[in-house]
Amino acid sequence: MLIAGNWKMNTDVPAGRALARNVAAGLDRSDADFSEVDVAVCPPFTHLQAVGEALDGSSVALGAQDVHAEEEGAYTSDISASMLTSIGCTYAIVGHSERRQYYDESDAEVNAKVVQARAHGLVPIVCVGETLEHRRSGDAESVVRSQLEGALDGVDVPRADALVVAYEPVWAIGTGESATPTQAQDMHAVVRSDLAGRYGEDLAAEVALLYGGSMKPHNAAELLGQPDVDGGLIGSASLKAESFVAIAEHATEA
Ligand code: PGA
């Protein structure tokens, strides 16, 4: 299980540092057994140093919300994979629907970012998910399959823990309306079978498939209880240590 918090463009640095400390302290205080649950937070780039320091000595991993597709160069404002590893990042979210929507990020760009992340030993959290229109027109599965094809084309995955896929239906993100456990499970099974075709059954069985889209403490147990749901990518509920830790506690029971 992996529970990852996507803070998006929220908190300033002092608030982010406090949030990270509270998450680490909350996990510490909890009676739950987190030995089978990895926890990560993905703050804004400006926070990585401070949050990394705040998490020092804890088991909470650090992730970034994006990574650039090129090694280095004249890309004003962008952040490279080696910059992220040099500051202690383990994960990088890639292809989030907000990047696809607001920056027209294409599958080819997502693919290049995945390749770059992998080349530096960063674990990409590859986001896929259909819009409401796609779901209503019955195209959800084909959209997700084609996003996977685009993102993972030619990507070598030597070990299951080198890749994470997050299924995030766009209509569930930030809306308070999550997918039903059955909708999540059905699409996760599609993702799993796609990965099995690409990397073999054994590896696919071990890749963490996260559900994202309005996962909260009240619906986490049911979503995380689905056989192909191996964790969550948590947006707004990751901005409060209490709710984020509560979701991580549900993961220990799933
Ligand atoms: P949400 O965001 O939990 O606020 O819906 C999830 C995400 O976008 O990763």
pTM exceeds 0.85, yes or no = yes
What span, in angstroms and rounded, lies between the C-alpha atoms of 96 and 101?
A: 9
- Closest-CA residue, ligand 1 atom 7, reads 235
CA-to-CA separations, 152 to 96, 111, 149, 175, 190, in angstroms, rounded: 15, 6, 5, 28, 15
Single out the residue of 185, 120, 106, 187 nearest to residue 153, CA to CA.
Answer: 106
Predicted pLDDT at 189: 98
CB 102 within 8 Å of CB 151 = no
Domains of the chain with CATH codes? 2-253 (3.20.20.70)
Predicted pLDDT at 110: 98
3-state secondary structure of 63: strand
Residue to probe by mutation, ligand 1, list 102, 218, 236, 243, most atoms within 8 Å of CB: 236
Predicted pLDDT at 82: 98
- Ligand 1 atom closest to residue 215's alpha carbon, by position in its atom list: 3
pLDDT averages per 10-residue partition of the chain, 254 residues: 98 98 98 97 98 97 98 98 98 98 96 97 98 95 98 95 97 92 98 97 98 97 98 98 98 95
Predicted pLDDT at 181: 97
Q: Is 124 in the pocket of ligand 1 (CB under 6 A)?
A: no
- Let me know if 168 is a catalytic residue: yes
Q: Rounded to 10 degrees, what is the CA torsion of 63, 172, 249, 8?
A: 30
Residue to probe by mutation, ligand 1, list 93, 99, 168, 175, most atoms within 8 Å of CB: 168
Q: Rounded to 10 degrees, what is the CA torsion of 48, 53, 54, 56?
A: 120
Cα angle: 196, vertex 164, 30; to 5 degrees = 125
